[in-house]
Amino acid sequence: MIDFYHKLGGGLRDAGWMRENMPKNRLAILPDLTHYETFASPLMANMATTFLDGGGKAPNWAEQVGK
C-alpha cells in the first residue's frame, strides 16, 4: 500500500513548514476497522465527503503561530 502511495507522489519528501510540498494525494488510515467494515463505516463517509469537498486542511505553520 505504501509503495502505491509513493507512486502517486505521496510521502516522498517533507511537506514543508508552509505545506508547500504537500502532495495532492492523501493516505487515510481508519483505526479499528477491517477492510470489510471500511465502506460501511460512518467514519469513512465523513472522511471522504470532507476530502471531496476540499475541507479538512490543517492550518499551516504561519497560521498556527500567527494567532
In this prediction, residues 1-30 reach a mean pLDDT of 76
Q: Which residue has the higher pLDDT, 35 or 1?
A: 35
**pLDDT, tens only, 18-65:** 777 777 777 788 899 998 998 899 999 888 888 888 776 777 777 778
Confidence (pTM): 0.48
Q: Which helix (H) or strand (E) holds 7?
A: helix 2-7
**What is the pLDDT at residue 5?**
73
- In the chain, where the domains are located: 2-65
Copy the grid coordinates of residue 24: 495532492
DSSP code at position 61: H
Identify the pLDDT of residue 32.
Answer: 92
Cell 493516505 -> residue? 27
